[in-house]
Amino acid sequence: MNHREDVRNIAIIAHVDHGKTTIVDSMLKITGEFNIKEDAAQDTVLDSNPLERERGITILAKCTSVPYKNHIINIVDTPGHADFGSEVERVLKMVDGAILMVDAVDGPMPQTRFVLRKALSLGIRPIVVINKMDRLNADPHRVVDDVFNLFIELGATDEQLDFPILYASGKEGWASENAAIRGTDITPLFESILKQVPPPIAHLDKPLQMQITMLDYSNFLGSIGTGRIYSGNISKGQTVILVKPNGETKNVKALKIERFLGLIRQEVQSAEAGDIVSIAGLEGVNVGDTVCQPEAPLPMPALSFDEPTISMEFFVNDSPFAGREGKFLTSRHIKARLEKEAHTNVGLIVEQMEGEGKFKVSGRGELHLTILIETMRREGFELAVSSPQVIYKEENGVVTEPFEYLILDIPSEFQGVVFEMLGTRGAKLENMVSEGENRLRLEYSVASRALLGFKNEFLTSTRGKGIMHHSFHGYYPKQNLSPLRRNGVFIAKEPGETTVYAIFALSDGGQFFVGPGEKVYAGMIVGQNSRENDLVVNPNKAKKLSNMRSKATDEAYTLSPKREFTLEQAIEYIAPDELVEITPVAIRMRKKILDFNERKRFEKTDTVEVEA
């Protein structure tokens, strides 16, 4: 076998917020690839997406490279959240090694298990980096033991169990082979990569084979495919063919070839086996396609991805406020946008439903779908979405549903209320560990649908002191769960503008989601009832003026602050007969059927069908 000794291809994998992107920044700085003050407007330069910067997480896998000692080290930064697992799976296929980042305080977390399982199954021997050594209460020796136990639990081979260990602080920009000695720079990590990561196998004398693992799009160049060249070479302007997993072929031309160099893509005239490059001009390309020479169509094995676990229905916004706040409103706009997303986001499945303007979108998790919705909202789309529904499977005659592995870090004073919350949601306690200083670490397996709306309730019950993480655990027999929302809602009776007088009069019966002076429409959800039933109310009612009453006395009313919802909270909150109306400037909740009389008729019909 031929090897490219001058190249190393690695991926950086870790749990959310364990420092993947920060350590890449340190590697870029020491090689002079960017100056943080001049080239980066944000703390982590690879988080180029506005949503990534706001949330502090990596959503899209990204490539970069750094030169070191006459070598080119291609680095791929991967998402840490399991909802973006399809990104991790694709990336690991085109690298020869991986750096597993683990927090020196938190240790292995749910997504650590997820990404490590993917790496070990591909035969990768990771370099373990215990990051955030600058944190107070860092306990690297305990974390190394936990990582070793995790390797054993996931079925690592003897060679994989003999993993190299480094201790680092991505924030301060140093790495060390000794936990007791603070390093001076990130050089030990580079040395470990050159020593431990095998050079890529590169069959330079064989016909071209390059598998596409990531997609992009340019208005000027069309579809852009990124992947690793496994054999042969490719030149700018060369005619090649795309070989689909089903055997279909398509002639295309490599209009432009780019290699990753630091923070930029550098155009090159040619590339050869072992390189990770982007090629423009591959019209009709999909993830998993193989780029070959016309005379030697040699497809590579198809890429496999985990199936979606949650689906939501997307509708054209038909509320009375439709068209007031967005630019893209029609079924045609929404369909085109969803199809474009499904082309590059392979973990997403879009299906056209019966009726105009109805689509079923399935993804790897709630975050996966809400990121798409938030992106569309910022682009100027108006739409309505239903509550998330888990995707059931039937295995050997048994209906199964997706489960999550949940880890909670809480002050021990809240253990009673947390036990009660999870008990009502059918969660099973797998492990409980005392973390010292009156803190507990609880590990549960719980149905995915039982976690809908749990985060907000959990943070409220622990007064913001609790920390939770969860990832997909597998499919298990379906559970019988009681409805998660125990309270009904206040539904606006008629369109108009809310008043202080009406909200004050109704506030004893529940909590409001709107304040005075806001426009509402009939069927819009304006608050939460303190009881289980839904209640139609009139928040627009004005106080009748007379000789004995004056408008000035409104100033005496004291209202409780309205409850505001983020997009995720609104989607988790709604019931199956409700929708979230999403526009570039507002998030509103509403009933699917706005008219009160139609809702009553529908409920009666539904009841009769159930009885029959």
Mean pLDDT of 21-32: 76
pLDDT confidence band for 244 (50 / 70 / 90): confident
Domains of the chain: 7-196 (3.40.50.300), 209-292 (2.40.30.10), 393-477 (3.30.70.240)
Q: Residues of 568-599 as b/e, b for ≥16 C-beta within 10 angstroms?
A: bebbbbbbeebbbbbbeeebbbbbbbbebeeb
The confidence score (pLDDT) of residue 6 equals 87
Rounded to whole angstroms, the Cα distance separating 418 from 442 reads 10
* 30 membership: H or E segment, kind and range: helix 20-30
- Give pLDDT, residue 59: 44
Tell me phi and psi for residue 256, to 5 degrees.
-155, 135
Residue whose C-alpha is closest to residue 589's, from 565, 557, 561, 559: 565
Binding-site residues for GTP: 17-22
Indicate the pairing of strand 270-272 with strand 233-235. Answer: antiparallel
Residue-wise pLDDT for 321-348, tens only, equals 988 888 988 999 999 999 888 877 777 8
- C-alpha distances out from residue 527 to 453, 486, 499, 511, 536, Å: 17, 14, 14, 5, 10
Average pLDDT, the chain: 83
CA 567 to chain CA centroid, Å, is 14
Q: Where are the beta strands (DSSP E) in 485-557?
A: 489-492, 496-497, 510-512, 519-520, 525-529, 535-537
Q: What is the pTM of this model?
A: 0.73
- In angstroms, the CA 499 to CA 65 distance is 59
Q: Which two tokens stand for residue 579?
A: 């929708």
pLDDT, residue 547, reads 57
Which residues define the annotated binding site?
A: 17-22
Tokens in use for 169? Answer: 């602080």
The pLDDT of residue 86 is above 50: yes
Closest by CA position to 251, among listed 214, 282, 296, 209: 282
Check residue 32 and give its pLDDT. 62
What's the pLDDT band for 85 if we cut at 50, 70, 90? low
Q: List, in sequence order, the alpha helices (H) in 315-365.
A: 331-344
Burial class (CB in 10 A: 0-12, 13-18, 19+), 28: buried
The answer on pLDDT for 11 being more than 50 is: yes
Three-class SS of residue 276? Answer: strand
> What pLDDT is attached to residue 539?
92
> Does 2 have pLDDT greater than 90?
no
Q: Mind listing the pLDDT tens digit for each residue in 90-148?
A: 778 888 899 998 999 888 877 777 778 888 888 899 999 999 898 888 889 999 999 99
